[in-house]
Structures are given as C-alpha cells and as structure tokens.
Amino acid sequence: MTRNLIFKAIDQTATPAEFDRLQDAIEQDHEVRAEYLRAVRLCESLGEIASGAFSVNSSKTDVPVRFAKQNESTHRSLAGGLKLSRFAIAATMLIAVGVATFWFGQQENSTTNVADKGEQTETIKESQIAGHATLRRSVDLKWTAGGNEYRDGDVLTNGSLQFEEGVAEIDFFCGATLIVEGPAALNIESDWSVEVTSGRLRANVPPAARGFIVRAAGSEIVDLGTEFALEVRAENARVEVIDGEVEIRGGEHNGNHLLTGQRQWLIGTETPESLNGLSTLDELRIRQENAASERFDTWQALSQKLRQDERLVAYFPIAENLAQRFVRNAAGTGDILDGKLVGPVERATGRFGPKSTGLAFGHPGARVRTRIDREFKAFTFACWVRIDSLEHVYNALFMSDGYETGESHWQIRNDGRLMFSVMVDDTQSVQTFSELEQREVETAGLARVYYSEPIWDISKSGQWFHLAAVYDPVGRRVVQYANGMQVGSEEIIDKFYIDTLRIGPAEIGNWGQPFRKTPWFSVRNLNGTIDELAVFDAALTTKEINTLFENGKPLGY
Amino acid sequence: MDHEPEREQRYREFVALLTRHDLSIRRFVRSLLPSRDGVDDVVQDTALECWKKFSEFNPERSEESADGFIRWACVIARYKAMSWQRNKARDRLVFRETVIERLAQAALDNLDQQQMEQSAIEVCLGKLQEDQRRLVLSVHSPGESIANIAQETGEAARRLYRKVNVLRKRLLECVAQRIAAEVSNG
C-alpha cells in the first residue's frame, strides 16, 4: 500500500530500500506523485495548525500540552546563527542587503506587530493594503508614459505620480486634499507628506490633518490649517496662502509663517501675477460631471447600435434605467425577458456618475429574475460590475436556477477568480461531500468549472470592471475576459463537451434554487453593483469583447 | 528631496512579494525535500538568489506579477533544493534529481489549489473526535514525532503509527472529496 510507504517517508522511518521503492513509484506514476504531495501538504498543515492550536490552551487536556521543540539542525543564518521563523525571512533579507527595517512594517502581510502573532503561524490573516491616499476624482488625466497609472477611486501607495495633462483630486488618509493640475510630478511619502517636483496645486487641510507637509524646492511647507496654493516650476517655485496659516521650514525662509493672502517665492524671482485660476473643488466636480455625462451620451449612442445585433438575446442597460421594479430587456427579444427586481435590490450610482444607475445586490435576498427559454449554440455573457467585496465563497454574476444539463453559472470565487461553469449531464451521479448535510452524498451531475486567473483583490474594491465569458463549442474553448483582456482560456475536452445550451429561469446578482428540498439556501449574492448585462447566442471574438469594453468604459479608463 | 533610488524601490517591491509568498515557497520546498530538514536553509538560499536575480524578473503585466513571481521563485527553489540534497552526507536518504523534477512540476501544477486545500483540511479536522484530533495534531507538532509521543505516553509505537495513519488517511479522503465537490460546485 503506497500510502503507508508515503507516511513512512514523511515520518523518516523508511528503510533505504523502501525509500527507493517510493522514489521509483513517484517517478513513474503521476497518481503516486499527487498522493505524495497531498500527504506532505496535509502533514505540514497539521504541523502549522498544531503550533497555532496548541498555543491556545484547550481546557479538556488529558494529553499534556506540548510545545514545539527547537529543530536541532544547525542553521546558517545571515543574521548570525539564529533560527528563522517564516516571518523572519523577509526581515533577514532586509538586514542582508542593508536597508532600514522600518520599511518592513509597511509591507503587505508583514508583521506590523510581532507581539500579536502568538506562535509562528497565524490562523486568521488580517488583510492589508499598502497606501496613503486615494485618487478621488480626475478630469482628462494623461499619465506620463512609463510611470504608474491610476483610475478614479484607486488607493495610491508611496511612490511617484506623474501626469502631463489634466486635473487630479487626491485625498490623503490624514484628511488633506490636493487638487493638482498637470503637468505635475509628485512623490507620495506617507499619509502626512508629499513631495512636489513640478506642478500647480491647491491644498486643503482640515483640523484633523493639521501638520500636513508639502515638500518643494528644498523647503517644507507645513500647513497649520485650511488652504494654500503652490506652484513649482524648473526655475521658480512659490507658495500663497488662500486662507489660514502655513509655516515654511528649511531653506532660506526657514521659520517664516505666512498668513491669508501672503506669498513667498521659494526659488526664482518675483513675478507680479498671482496664483489664480487654480481649480476649486466645486469647479473640478462640475467639470468631471460634465465629462462623465458626455461619456454617458456617447455610450448611449453606441448601445443603441448594439441592440440591433441579432445574436443578442438579452440586454439590460441598467445605467439608463428608471426607478421601477423591473429592468427592461433592450434586445430585440422584447419585454418577455424583462428582469424583475426581487427583495432589497438597490439602485446605486452607475459607472457614468450620478446621471446613471446600477443595481446593487448587497443583501442575501437581493436578486433580479428573468427567464430565457431557448436553445443556445454558444454563450457569451458580458457585464459591467463594481465589486465592493467578495463576501461569500461564490459570488453570483448571472446564474441559471438550479443546475440542469446545458445550464451555466457565472460567478466570482472569493479568491478573485472568475468561474464559468456548465452542467454537462445532470443524470450522472458523482460522489461529493455535502456542505449542507455534512456527509457524503450522491450529487447529481457531471459539470465543469473553468477558472480565470485572479482578477480582483480588496485593493480593487469599488472599481468598475468589464467582465465577459465566452463558451464556444465549435472552437472547443472557454475564454474569459476582464476589461477587454483575456484572463483565462481553456479547452473543452470530450468528457465535458456539450453543444446544446440553455438558461431557463435565471438570476442576475444571485442564485435561485427554487426546487431545493430544505428551507436553507446558499448565500451567493454579489456585494457590488451590476450594469449592462448582455447575453449572446454566439461566441464573440476577442476583438468584439474588446469593443464592448471600449464602448462602455467609464471616464478615466 | 531626492527621489528614492530605483534600487530601493525595487527592493521594497521584492520584499513585499517575498513576504506575500513566503509560505507557498516554503511549502513548495518542503515538497521537494524528504523531510523538514533543510527547508529553512533552502528557503533562505532561495530568497537570496531571488533578490540577486530580481532584476531579471520582469512580469509582462502587473496583474500577473503575483502569480508570476511565485512560479519564478519556485524554479529557483527547485535548483536550490537539488543542490542542498547534493551536498548532504551519503548516509542520509535524499531524493534523486529526476524525482525532484517530477515533484516540482506536479507541485507547480496545483499551486492555486492550496488555499482551497488548506480550508478543507481545517474543516475535515473539525470532523474528528476531540481525542483523535489531539493525537493527530500532537504527532505533527514541529519537532515532534510519533516515536517521541509513544515514548511519553507509553503506547506501543507500532500501534500508535497505525492509529495515526488511519486518521491521516481519513483526512486525505475527506479533503479530496471536498475539493472535488468545490470544483464541481459551479
């Protein structure tokens, strides 16, 4: 029995002959190989759980609680012979190449507080994002080639921010807001400080952010409250207080305080013109709303054209929807396919700003129901979605009720991967473990799930994505897209081949199981907002998917 | 006033990636060595080598960099695992290079299932009775072995081995079933 041999090897009780036999088996038989890896991973996991679990004393101890002993093998360590825990690896690396270790505390998943770690493994990892500010709004931004590019709503981490044209509104976590006009080059240093190499900006600093520092032209401008303007060019730099007080530190003006209306040239010579014409928050908002509404109009015109496409079976342009309890099917198939809002579905701001809407499915009972009775020869599903969080193991985009032969499920797993699956044969039975009944059950159905690479993590919360899934029986391929780019492509193998597809009763943003035999239902509502769901009876090409994305993308994409 | 030197920025990028994937790399290395012996050494060698070569690591697209990094690091880890075993004394059981290659390939193929597997293990462990769970965890505690525990509890080692193996098999079956269910639970 190979398994016992595997355990012997892991326990290091195998004889050399047995060890050789196992090696032969690993080499020749991929099943043994897989089994060996599974066993090693299991034992490692048990070890990790043990060191975690045993640090928390369970009360009913009949076996003496044992703590991990030091592994006795000697360790060559850069830090001078210390044994490394897995959290110390990166720290050691820091010492090894001589970089100040304070950066370590700013890394994702790093040990910001070693004291909280208990033993060397943690059972629950708190998620962390690196960042100091948010790009709240922008108009006509043209990012400098080769630099970082961001979209409205993105978290900005430390590092450079450079654009040639346009205006950006940046909210620092401390509460300070900068309105920056391009061409500009900044370097975000922390929640509290930014360096400006070039550009014009207006800084607004509420009481909670007092002490916010803007570094420019060899000086630090410390805002003691409210608002100042700054212009930095190659040959001159000046600051002007719009309202309140700032202090200048460093450079030749060290210690100067400026009050409302006062200005100071940091470098260069005085020129008479004042620093006017800088956008205010309101002006920026109005400009941005106008631009968004223009984008909205353009999309509407393009969307009218799409409705003529004969391959389009269902189309829900929610963005232009009125406040009713249904969403109109705008495809040629007519109102028989209209979607009915059920439960706490909420209308939320859409991807074109306040003029447009989306539907939010943040509560378990929220769903939009439709029914599409026809046979499909291929599937293309596309929609715009703004994910706030992936709360459930599976988060629904568009799902046939239940899971019968030919039906598909389109959803996102909690690790950020898109899942597109098709039931190939619901009459076959497969042994699976029932979550609900906590035992093995005969599950009806031979089905196949196609996964994309991960496209989402919590740092992308609140961003709009265009997603698409194409099921192409003729080309024998399932292709998935995010923002017009391929993020997954897999062959449909014979075992999972099916070319007569159906939808039937189905839901947007949730999963209906009307014929289940218990009151319990799986919670799969999408915590986010959906717009412009389109269903085609055809396999769209990459170019066509890309066109859908280009036609429908919001401002700043 | 100075912009942060590029090297330092790259370095911080590197440490972030390394920190994020440390556990996966460690798992991968453990899969290629016959025991926990040497895992720390190999992981550390791998980390240093990755940093040395980091300038060559250039993922095409930023969203691929996470997945790309782990695969790239695992290739380096494979060589490090081989050379570690090469340097070991002859009296120790080590894997042949062809075996390491096969294992490395197989381990890379299911990198993305590890999260699922991990949570399955936790659930399956929860299904065992309290005393079974304690037993199976205590023999796997770092630095422990079945032989040690047998000595301490006065239970015959052979019987204890049998007990533990039954539990391990049960856990393996349970995990395999759950994963199969996950994968078909579209």
State whether residue B146 sits within 8 Å of chain A by CB: yes
Q: List C-alpha distances in Å: B5 to A44, A94, B132.
A: 40, 16, 55
- CB of A166 closer than 8 Å to CB of A135: no
Cβ contact B66–A432 (<8 Å): no
Which uninterrupted H or E stretch holds B104?
helix B97-109
Residue of A18, A40, A415, A501 to mutate when probing chain B, most B C-beta within 10 A: A40
Encoding tokens for residue A429? 């039975």
- CB contact A147 to B (< 8 Å): no
**A258-303 confidence digits (pLDDT tens):** 999 888 888 877 666 666 677 888 888 888 889 999 999 999 999 9
Beta-ladder partners of A139: A167
Choose the mutation target among B137, B144, B162, B175 for the interface with A, i.e. most A CBs under 10 Å: B137
Interface check for A88 against chain B (CB to CB < 8 A): the answer is no
How many Å apart are CA A223 and CA B179, to the nearest integer?
Answer: 56
CA distances from A372 to A391, A497, B182 (A): 28, 22, 27
Dihedrals phi, psi of A390, to nearest 5 degrees: -100, 90
Single out the residue of B8, B104, B28, B33 nearest to residue A86, CA to CA: B28
Q: Identify which of A11, A446, A455 has the shortest CB distance to residue B145.
A: A11
Residues 6 or more apart from A72 whose CB is under 8 A from it? none
Strand ranges (DSSP E) for A363-484?
A: 367-372, 379-389, 394-400, 408-413, 417-434, 439-454, 464-472, 477-482
Q: What is the mean pLDDT of residues B153-168?
A: 86
Q: If one looks up domain B1-110 in CATH, what number appears?
A: 1.10.1740.10
Phi and psi dihedrals of B127, rounded to 5? -85, -15
Greatest mean pLDDT among A140-154, A265-279, A536-550, B156-170:
A536-550
Give this prediction's pTM: 0.58
CB-based contact (8 Å) between A400 and chain B?
no
Residue-wise burial string across A510-528, b where 16 or more C-beta atoms lie within 10 A, e elsewhere: bbbbeeeeeeeebbbbbbb
Cα–Cα distance, A104 to B104 (Å, whole number): 30
Q: Tell me if the bond preceding B59 is cis, omega within 30° of 0.
A: no
Q: What is the pLDDT of residue A274?
A: 62
Residue A428 and residue A433: Cα distance in Å, rounded? Answer: 16
By CB atoms closer than 10 A (0-12, 13-18, 19+), residue B35 is: middle
Query: Please, what sign has the CA dihedral across residues A125, A129, A130, A132?
Result: negative
- B34 touches B16 (CB < 8 A): no
CB contact under 8 Å between A42 and B141, yes or no, is no
Q: Which residues of A touch B26 (CB under 8 A)?
A: 86
- B144–A69 C-beta distance less than 8 A: yes
Quick: pLDDT tens for A109-118: 333 232 222 2
Facing residues of A239 across strands?
A230, A264
Partner A, chain B 45-84, Cβ-Cβ below 8 Å: 47-48, 51, 63-64, 66-67
| Residue B5 neighbours by CB distance under 10 Å | 9
More confident residue, B167 or A80: B167
Contacts of B130 in chain A (CB under 8 A): 60
Does residue A205 have a pLDDT over 50?
A: yes
Asked if A87 contacts A113 with a C-beta cutoff of 8 angstroms, the reply is no
Buried/exposed code over A174-190 (b: 16+ C-beta within 10 A; e: otherwise):
bbbbbbbbbebbbbbee
| Residue A502 structure tokens | 């159906």
Residues 401-440 (A) with a CB less than 8 A from some CB of B? 403, 409, 411, 415, 419-423, 430-435, 438, 440
State the pLDDT at residue A192: 92
CB under 8 Å to A32, separation ≥6 — which residues? Answer: A2, A6, A22, A25, A26
What's the pLDDT at A118?
A: 29
User: Is A222 within 8 Å of A246 (Cβ atoms)?
Assistant: yes
Query: What percentage of chain A carries pLDDT values higher than 90?
Result: 53
> Shortest Cα distance from A349 to chain B (angstroms)?
27
Per DSSP, the three-state class of A121 is coil
The answer to whether A105 faces chain B, any CB pair under 8 Å, is no
Strand ranges (E), A324-389: 326-327, 339-342, 346-350, 353-360, 367-372, 379-389
Q: What would the pLDDT profile of A409-454 be if each residue is shown by its tens digit?
A: 999 998 899 999 999 998 886 665 554 455 555 556 788 889 999 9
Which contacts (CB < 8 Å, 24+ apart) does range A3-8 have?
Answer: A3/A35, A3/A39, A3/B165, A3/B169, A3/B172, A4/B165, A6/A32, A6/A35, A6/A36, A6/A39, A7/A39, A7/B161, A7/B164, A7/B165, A7/B168
**How far, in Å, CA of A234 to CA of A184, rounded?**
11
Residue A119 has pLDDT above 70, yes or no: no
Residue with tokens 């006062």: A262
Number of continuous H segments (helices) and E segments (strands) in chain B = 8, 0
The answer to whether the Cβ–Cβ distance between A447 and B184 falls below 8 Å is yes
Average pLDDT, chain A: 82
Instruction: Please give, rounded to a whole number of angstroms, the shortest distance from the CA of A351 to a CA of chain B.
Output: 22
Most B CBs within 10 Å, among A13, A65, A93, A439, to test the B interface: A93
- A328 contact B CB<8A: no
Give the separation between CA A293 and CA A73, rounded to whole angstroms.
Answer: 67
Residue A125 reports pLDDT greater than 70:
no
B140 contacts in chain A (CB < 8 Å): 43, 46-47, 50
Using a CB-CB cut-off of 8 Å, the residues of chain A touching B142 are 47, 50-51, 68-69, 71
- For residue A248, the one-letter residue type is I
Answer whether A73 touches B (CB < 8 Å): yes
Q: What digits encode the pLDDT tens for the residues B4-50?
A: 677 778 888 888 888 888 888 999 999 999 988 889 889 988 998 89
Task: Tell me what pLDDT residue B90 has.
Answer: 60
- Among all residues of chain B, which has the CA nearest to that of A438? B127
Tokens of B184: 């078909």
Residue spans of the domains in chain B: they are: 1-110, 128-185
Coil, helix or strand at residue A255: coil
Residue A435 φ/ψ region, left for φ over 0, alpha for ψ in the -120 to 50 degree band, beta for the rest: alpha
Residues of A (363-392) whose Cβ lies below 8 Å from B? none
CB-neighbour burial class of residue A78 (10 A; exposed 0-12, middle 13-18, buried 19+): middle
Average pLDDT of span A366-390: 96
